[in-house]
Structure 1
């Protein structure tokens, strides 16, 4: 971890030094830079039609290794309503195959209606996703001893939110997930521990979301809040074969600092009660929470993550971000303490692909491993 930290500082120093030298030679190089960015913009325009942008999908993360496929995304506003007020809606469709023999199909609709008074979100995911299990707790198996298991699953959720006050939205949520674990290590951790969900799961539940959203832009906010309080309850009454509740608190704040630079902060908490499955228990790691830690390496009844990201425009559509985070999991809420925190940091680059602010992102993170992430849109 210390080595990763100093590597991060060194790379930052190199970037600043190179930037200073480029400023001295800016007059000579301006033409070259503009030609490169003109070419990048031309490529984006070629793959982006009037309604759909279709791009080859290239992803990389520790959980998937290298993944290739195709991604289509439509950013639009319904014809009805005040175009100057209505937030952009999105419909991405993604098909990926990874070097870890994982096949992933996802599509998700974010639909803003009625001058932002109504919001509809739904997601479908179909995956054949071999993955690793490290056990339960804040001190799981060493990462070299993670146990591979085969898993196929289908996932669906649907939300509806209605604005009831300035920036305040409330509405119901439904979730469904079915997992088929078709391959386990004989006599391994999953078989011997028999944690809930070790031989598959069928989940069906309803819940409630309460959001406070005052962001000035949903893709690239420079000010405002995005806070979410959520409850999900899974019960046999709705067809679930496991019974548990999950509560999520997600607080985000955006500050515009110098020029167009932005500081984004997030405090995320998850609390699970009842008999949750290991697939759906509170967990940290991955590309959204605690980059640099394998997704699900740390999982337990409760989890918390604190994240900060600083965003700096560099030139035209290119930007730089630096980020840091800390988090932990616990069986009981009273076990949370500073000594149990896991820490990570990193930096990345952004390239804006449309006027709404949608970004392609590349992140390099240092946690309990050095990890690379390539994808769309911001993390926080």
Structure 2
């Protein structure tokens, strides 16, 4: 490997994990299905492991909480960031503790890395007490030098082009229940890029960014109409249910947008619990992102890793592929490694394709795949620390997440 991949927080956790726990917790694996000996074993997370090595008296099992908070400071290397320091946290709670139907979730992340990228990002999904309303937010503040490679699925490293910019994103949506698990509503989306500059293509050719339209500042400001179906109970680590979100976005000059342009996004996820005897899950994710008309700013076009949670395209760095429209499909098999659910694993595969420019025809399919490790960080909210190794075409590296990728 070209670089040593180090994730400090994982080394600490693995040390505590295997110091006397391997023999107790590793189950008997059946070759085909990752099934385990179903002896009664209490579920454990990192907090339990740390308590077990403290000198304090033995504690009784932690009672379930209405509010759970997880915080992970880390330093390490990923394909998208290079070497980075990171602080991630999520708060999970029931807005109506008496019902305990849907978990609300607020996730925040602060990152600084070797590419001088600074990122502050907050995602939130908050249900009202009666679950008649859901409030969805995506707020970001970035200082973000980013390598881009042009438009379409056929770009190569010869057209690598460093584009530097500052970025403010403010997305906020309010949805009203129509019937069980089905919601409809409106939102406001703002994408504001400023202080934009480019270094130029590595091969000194004219960049797609310049051909598409080079600007120092771009604004996309628009209203969204949303249709949401969500039968998942746990948004961080679902074991069953369906999530389907359709978003029509209309950016308008009178709202401050540089241009009038419209887009349509389909986000569909389905979770299959494979057996009543364990929590093994097959998860499926489809993301289709279309520019319907108009000319979105280059940096607002569909791109690898620029979905809401920044998780599409494991196997490729963020922004590796870009186009006016995008097709994406991913499948992931999630399974337990230890009987106490402290350790788990995943196997994933994805495929994406982007439209060419000029024109809108989709080009070749770009595959990605790989394995991943899951460490139970908070058993009450089912939050995992996720460490994946993604492999793409001429690209590979680590990807780290707090909570499942989708």
Q: The TM-score by the shorter chain falls in which range?
A: 0.7 to 0.9
Match of 1:168 in 2: 182
d(CA) in 2 for partners of 1:44, 1:150: 45
d(CA) in 2 for partners of 1:198, 1:63: 25
d(CA) in 2 for partners of 1:341, 1:29: 44
Match of 1:373 in 2: 399
d(CA) in 1 for partners of 2:208, 2:25: 62
Match of 1:290 in 2: 313
d(CA) in 2 for partners of 1:297, 1:128: 18
In the TM superposition, what is the alpha-carbon distance from 1:110 to its structure 2 partner? 2.0
| Corresponding position: 1:131 with 2:146 | yes
In the TM superposition, what is the alpha-carbon distance from 1:182 to its structure 2 partner? 4.2
Match of 1:278 in 2: 298
d(CA) in 2 for partners of 1:32, 1:350: 14
d(CA) in 2 for partners of 1:39, 1:296: 33
Q: Secondary structure at the match of 1:279?
A: helix
In the TM superposition, what is the alpha-carbon distance from 1:374 to its structure 2 partner? 1.1
| Corresponding position: 1:353 with 2:377 | yes
In terms of fraction of residues, the more helix-rich structure is 1
Q: Secondary structure at the match of 1:282?
A: coil
d(CA) in 2 for partners of 1:44, 1:158: 39
In the TM superposition, what is the alpha-carbon distance from 1:178 to its structure 2 partner? 1.3
In the TM superposition, what is the alpha-carbon distance from 1:32 to its structure 2 partner? 10
In the TM superposition, what is the alpha-carbon distance from 1:309 to its structure 2 partner? 0.3
| Corresponding position: 1:362 with 2:404 | no
User: Among residues 281, 298, 301, which one is paired with 1:262 in the alignment?
Assistant: 281
Structure 1 length-normalised TM: 0.82
Change over 3 Å in CA distance of 1:297–1:189 after alignment to 2 = farther
Q: 1:271-326 deviations in whole A, cap 9, x for unaligned? A: 10211111111223575212112222221111101110000011122110000111
In the TM superposition, what is the alpha-carbon distance from 1:167 to its structure 2 partner? 1.5
d(CA) in 2 for partners of 1:39, 1:76: 19
| Corresponding position: 1:95 with 2:113 | no
When the two structures are aligned, how many residues end up with a matched partner? 347
Greater mean alpha carbon deviation, residues 92-101 or residues 188-197: 188-197
In the TM superposition, what is the alpha-carbon distance from 1:222 to its structure 2 partner? 1.9
Q: How does 1:176-255 map to 2 (within 5 A)?
A: 176-185=190-199, 189-190=206-207, 193-196=210-213, 198-255=215-272
| Corresponding position: 1:150 with 2:164 | yes
In the TM superposition, what is the alpha-carbon distance from 1:42 to its structure 2 partner? 4.2
In the TM superposition, what is the alpha-carbon distance from 1:131 to its structure 2 partner? 0.5
Q: How does 1:300-311 map to 2 (within 5 A)?
A: 300-311=323-334
d(CA) in 2 for partners of 1:372, 1:284: 15
Change over 3 Å in CA distance of 1:43–1:93 after alignment to 2 = farther
d(CA) in 1 for partners of 2:24, 2:115: 42
C-alpha RMSD over aligned residues: 3.1
Change over 3 Å in CA distance of 1:28–1:373 after alignment to 2 = closer
Change over 3 Å in CA distance of 1:51–1:263 after alignment to 2 = closer
The answer to whether the 8 A contact 1:198-1:278 is kept is: no
In the TM superposition, what is the alpha-carbon distance from 1:43 to its structure 2 partner? 4.0
Q: Secondary structure at the match of 2:372?
A: strand
Q: Secondary structure at the match of 2:199?
A: coil
Greater mean alpha carbon deviation, residues 289-298 or residues 309-318: 289-298
Gaps spanning 5+ residues in structure 2: where?
1-19, 28-40, 55-61
Gaps spanning 5+ residues in structure 1: where?
1-25
| Corresponding position: 1:121 with 2:136 | yes
Change over 3 Å in CA distance of 1:27–1:330 after alignment to 2 = closer
d(CA) in 2 for partners of 1:101, 1:267: 32
Q: 1:321-373 deviations in whole A, cap 9, x for unaligned? A: 00011110114997347xx2111211101122221212110000111211210
| Corresponding position: 1:41 with 2:48 | yes
Q: 1:11-53 deviations in whole A, cap 9, x for unaligned? A: xxxxxxxxxxxxxxx999228999xx7766344999x997643
d(CA) in 2 for partners of 1:301, 1:44: 51
d(CA) in 2 for partners of 1:376, 1:72: 8
d(CA) in 2 for partners of 1:44, 1:307: 37
Structure 2 length-normalised TM: 0.77
The answer to whether the 8 A contact 1:304-1:329 is kept is: yes
